[in-house]
Amino acid sequence: MAGEKKSALNVVGSGVDETVVMLNNKKIQNIRTLAAIVFGVAVGILALTGLAGLAFYVVASIILSVYLYLRFSSVSSNLFKSSTALLLDGVSGNLFTFILFWTLAYGLIHIY
Protein backbone atom coordinates (compact mmCIF):
# COMPACT_ATOMS: atom_id res chain seq x y z
CA MET A 1 0.00 0.00 0.00
CA ALA A 2 2.80 2.45 0.79
CA GLY A 3 4.44 1.97 -2.62
CA GLU A 4 1.23 2.22 -4.67
CA LYS A 5 0.58 5.31 -6.73
CA LYS A 6 -2.75 6.97 -5.99
CA SER A 7 -4.87 7.42 -9.11
CA ALA A 8 -7.68 9.90 -9.66
CA LEU A 9 -9.60 7.27 -11.61
CA ASN A 10 -11.46 4.27 -10.26
CA VAL A 11 -9.62 1.03 -10.91
CA VAL A 12 -11.12 -2.43 -10.98
CA GLY A 13 -9.25 -5.66 -10.28
CA SER A 14 -8.84 -7.62 -13.50
CA GLY A 15 -12.17 -7.41 -15.33
CA VAL A 16 -14.28 -4.60 -16.67
CA ASP A 17 -16.92 -3.24 -14.32
CA GLU A 18 -19.53 -1.11 -16.10
CA THR A 19 -20.03 1.06 -13.02
CA VAL A 20 -16.34 1.91 -12.92
CA VAL A 21 -16.32 2.65 -16.66
CA MET A 22 -19.32 4.98 -16.27
CA LEU A 23 -17.71 6.79 -13.32
CA ASN A 24 -14.45 7.26 -15.21
CA ASN A 25 -16.27 8.56 -18.28
CA LYS A 26 -18.13 11.03 -16.06
CA LYS A 27 -14.81 12.23 -14.60
CA ILE A 28 -13.35 12.73 -18.10
CA GLN A 29 -16.52 14.61 -19.09
CA ASN A 30 -16.13 16.86 -16.03
CA ILE A 31 -12.51 17.55 -17.00
CA ARG A 32 -13.58 18.47 -20.54
CA THR A 33 -16.36 20.75 -19.26
CA LEU A 34 -14.02 22.56 -16.89
CA ALA A 35 -11.46 22.90 -19.70
CA ALA A 36 -14.12 24.36 -22.03
CA ILE A 37 -14.96 26.95 -19.35
CA VAL A 38 -11.29 27.87 -18.92
CA PHE A 39 -10.73 27.99 -22.68
CA GLY A 40 -13.79 30.22 -23.14
CA VAL A 41 -12.71 32.66 -20.45
CA ALA A 42 -9.18 32.74 -21.88
CA VAL A 43 -10.44 33.52 -25.39
CA GLY A 44 -12.76 36.19 -24.00
CA ILE A 45 -9.92 37.83 -22.06
CA LEU A 46 -7.62 37.68 -25.10
CA ALA A 47 -10.39 39.37 -27.16
CA LEU A 48 -10.24 36.80 -29.93
CA THR A 49 -13.25 37.02 -32.20
CA GLY A 50 -14.66 34.97 -35.03
CA LEU A 51 -12.71 32.05 -36.40
CA ALA A 52 -9.64 32.86 -34.28
CA GLY A 53 -11.60 32.06 -31.13
CA LEU A 54 -13.03 28.89 -32.61
CA ALA A 55 -9.57 27.82 -33.79
CA PHE A 56 -8.30 28.33 -30.23
CA TYR A 57 -10.97 25.92 -28.96
CA VAL A 58 -10.19 23.33 -31.61
CA VAL A 59 -6.44 23.42 -30.95
CA ALA A 60 -6.87 23.42 -27.15
CA SER A 61 -9.32 20.50 -27.36
CA ILE A 62 -6.91 18.52 -29.52
CA ILE A 63 -4.10 19.14 -27.04
CA LEU A 64 -6.34 18.08 -24.14
CA SER A 65 -7.48 14.95 -25.99
CA VAL A 66 -3.92 13.94 -26.81
CA TYR A 67 -2.88 14.51 -23.20
CA LEU A 68 -5.75 12.38 -21.87
CA TYR A 69 -5.02 9.67 -24.43
CA LEU A 70 -1.32 9.55 -23.58
CA ARG A 71 -2.04 9.65 -19.85
CA PHE A 72 -4.63 6.85 -19.82
CA SER A 73 -4.11 4.81 -23.00
CA SER A 74 -2.12 2.11 -21.22
CA VAL A 75 -5.03 1.35 -18.89
CA SER A 76 -7.93 2.36 -21.12
CA SER A 77 -9.06 -1.20 -21.86
CA ASN A 78 -10.57 -1.75 -18.42
CA LEU A 79 -11.20 1.85 -17.35
CA PHE A 80 -12.96 3.36 -20.39
CA LYS A 81 -15.31 2.31 -23.18
CA SER A 82 -12.52 2.55 -25.74
CA SER A 83 -9.42 4.56 -26.44
CA THR A 84 -11.19 6.48 -29.22
CA ALA A 85 -13.93 7.41 -26.76
CA LEU A 86 -11.19 8.81 -24.57
CA LEU A 87 -10.09 11.00 -27.50
CA LEU A 88 -13.44 12.18 -28.83
CA ASP A 89 -16.22 11.97 -26.23
CA GLY A 90 -17.49 15.36 -25.14
CA VAL A 91 -15.44 17.52 -27.51
CA SER A 92 -18.37 18.76 -29.59
CA GLY A 93 -20.80 18.76 -26.66
CA ASN A 94 -18.74 21.29 -24.76
CA LEU A 95 -18.59 23.70 -27.69
CA PHE A 96 -21.68 25.49 -26.39
CA THR A 97 -20.15 25.80 -22.92
CA PHE A 98 -17.06 27.29 -24.52
CA ILE A 99 -19.11 29.80 -26.53
CA LEU A 100 -21.14 30.77 -23.45
CA PHE A 101 -18.07 31.59 -21.36
CA TRP A 102 -16.27 33.14 -24.34
CA THR A 103 -19.06 35.65 -24.91
CA LEU A 104 -19.55 36.23 -21.18
CA ALA A 105 -15.88 37.00 -20.55
CA TYR A 106 -15.57 39.11 -23.70
CA GLY A 107 -18.68 41.10 -22.85
CA LEU A 108 -17.71 41.70 -19.21
CA ILE A 109 -14.16 42.74 -19.95
CA HIS A 110 -14.20 44.48 -23.31
CA ILE A 111 -17.70 45.86 -23.66
CA TYR A 112 -18.77 46.96 -20.16
3-class secondary structure for 59-82? HHHHHHHHHHHHHHHHHHHHHCCC
Amino acid code (one letter) for 25: N
What is the share, in percent, of the chain residues with pLDDT greater than 90? 46
Alpha helices in the chain (DSSP H): 18-45, 51-72, 76-79, 83-88, 95-106
1 pLDDT above the threshold of 50: no
* Secondary structure letter of residue 85 according to DSSP: H
Give the chain's end-to-end CA distance (angstroms, integer): 54
Q: What pLDDT, in 10s, does the model give residues 58-95? A: 999 999 988 988 887 777 666 777 777 777 777 788 99
- Residue scoring higher pLDDT (17 or 48): 48
pTM of the model: 0.79
- The predicted model gives 13-30 an average pLDDT of 78
